[in-house]
Amino acid sequence: MTAAGDLTDVEARVLSALDDTAREGRLVADLVDLVAVPSVTGTAAEGDAQRWVADRLGPLGADVDLWRMDLDALRADAGFPGTEAPRDEAWGLVGTLRPDGAQDAPSLVLQGHVDVVPAGDLSAWGDADPFAARVVATPDGEAVMGRGTCDMKAGVVAALAALEAVHRAGVRLRGTVAFHSVVSEEDGGLGAFGTLARGHVGDACVIPEPTGRRVVTANAGALTFRLDVPGRAAHGSSRYEGVSAIEAFARVHAALLDLERERCADPDPLMAGYEIPYPLSIGVVRAGDWASTVPDALVAEGRYGVRLDESPDDARAAFEARVAEVCAGDAWLRDHPVRVTWSGGQFASGRLPAGHALLGAAQQAWATVTGGPEPAPRGGPYGSDLRLYAAAGVPTLHLGPGDVRQAHTAREYVPVEEMHATARALALMVLRHCGTR
């Protein structure tokens, strides 16, 4: 609940309009509708989701820029963040509410991604369709369950609801507010990269990714790698005549886990609450082609955490040096070294500048709408679009509904109350950052 004395008349009017929307069930209904668009990263449904959002922005009086990105030009750019999912199209979308005479007034960006990861093993969802979202009871209260609810379509819906409430309340902003709806966040940030390259920027940016009732002001990076490990084939009955690529990889993997422990030993204070602040994880292993043949090749693919303020080049150098070290000390790998390549998403780290007013604004808005304490800042051990906006000179943080531990899981969900609270907090941030007339 919000104490009336904490709000101006304009703020109270906007929050009342937003509360009416929530009572009418439109927040949940919009989330169910958006989840029904199966916008898995790299699929044509990403474009369908972008058009869904565009349809919500137009009636708000926004200038809507919906464009097909020039993928060849973006891939040729030196700063291209990489991708993992194959694609032949990507759609950008920005809706801008630009009041007359606002050229020199403060501007704020709200940003969200509409792409989601695949649903995974459908049996893990029980008898439910992952893209047919539904209201369920959870330990966190009433929630909406479905693929992409937490990561991050609830945040998208909350941001749109905040803008709609400002519009319904008839408020005239002094500054500009824009909503950047992007694709390809899950595999590198192509959508955000292309949006920024088109010239859509602002004085500050809030991304309602799931933050578990805290404010995320920094992201570690994540680099996708591939290891090609050689072996020597032999019949399984005389395996001593060969060299198993699996056994060779085991030695490399052990060395990489040692590297992970060393890199996590003294983390930045924003990352200190995580058991593993900068994880190194092997996600794919392929080896062998016959049960009775010693495998002569192994391919392993994984993700490697980049520490806060560490350049991706330095992170890669440390990884490659450790692989080279274990190869130099191994009788087989010394002459047949492991090959390391970097592909897919290449997330640098990023953070909100120390002392920036955006943190206090987010904390105060959340405390005002929830009646609770100001949420503590922390870092996230995952890559996100935050670092692309930060690199473009746009101070950015995350404040959004849900807990990232629910993201990408079977039976993913987001609490309804947190979606509503996020919408209210974003509405206050828009009013307070942009000002009213």
Q: Which residues are catalytic?
A: 115, 185
How many secondary structure helices (H) and strands (E) does the chain include?
A: 11, 16
DSSP SS3 for 154: helix
CA-CA-CA-CA torsion for 255, 260, 261, 265, nearest 10 degrees?
A: 140
Closest CA to 301 of 340, 247, 266, 274: 340
42-45: long-range pairs with CB below 8 Å, 24+: 42/83, 42/85, 42/86, 42/87, 42/115, 42/184, 42/187, 44/89
Task: Give dist(CA 417, CA 140) in Å, integer.
Answer: 9
Side-chain-facing half-sphere of 217: CA atoms under 13 Å: 20
State residue 259 phi and psi, 5-degree precision: -60, -40
- 220 by Cβ neighbours in 10 Å (0-12 / 13-18 / 19+) ranks as buried
CB atoms within 10 A of CB 251: 17
* AA letter at 262: E
* AA letter at 398: H
State residue 207 phi and psi, 5-degree precision: -115, 115
Task: Give the strand pairing for 141-145 and 413-415.
Answer: antiparallel
Q: Are 90 and 183 in contact (CB under 8 A)?
A: yes
Task: Give dist(CA 380, CA 376) in Å, integer.
Answer: 13
DSSP string, 183-226: S-TTTT-HHHHHHHHTT---SEEEE----TTSEEEEE-EEEEEE
